[in-house]
Amino acid sequence: MHENSLLPENALLYESGLEPVATPAWPAPGEYALLGARDSLLVVDLHGDLDLATATPLREWLDSVVALRAPAYVVDLRRTTFIDSTGLNAVLRFRRRVREYEAGFAVVCAPRTVRLLRAHGTLDLLDPAPGLPEAASRIAGR
């Protein structure tokens, strides 16, 4: 990855201590996902709308992320603006696939997303953390 090719969104990764992970062989993530690494975690930063229109490419991209076989993954939903049942299903599918090979998994989200998870009945299953440090602690303590 060339320094000139960094997207403006990657500035957020650097500010949070994450380093972007190059993804040339993966399906294009679209405008809704970034991938960064921090302390042996792969952080999937999802943003924008996660809905029927984005679910198929998102699932394909998340499948390619699972194929990396990282020791732990964090899905960051704090910058999502909308999540419908198909978007939530993509996150749940990703969680299941990560857990199949016994990697760590955590979700980070904002209070508005906590309400959505509660309404969908997935709050206890995903048990979201408020930030990346808390998510890393939960994974380490599993």
pLDDT in tens, 46-102: 988 999 998 998 998 999 899 988 999 999 999 999 999 999 999 999 999 999 989
pLDDT in tens, 100-121: 989 999 999 999 999 989 999 9
Three-state secondary structure of the chain: CCHHHCCCCHHHHHHCCCEECCCCCCCCCHHHEEEEEECCEEEEEEEEEECHHHHHHHHHHHHHHHCCCCCEEEEEEEEEEEECHHHHHHHHHHHHHHHHCCCEEEEECCHHHHHHHHHHCCHHHHCCECCHHHHHHHHHCC
pLDDT band at residue 28 using 50, 70 and 90 as cut-offs: low
Q: Residue 24 above 50 pLDDT?
A: no
pTM value is: 0.78
pLDDT of residue 78: 94
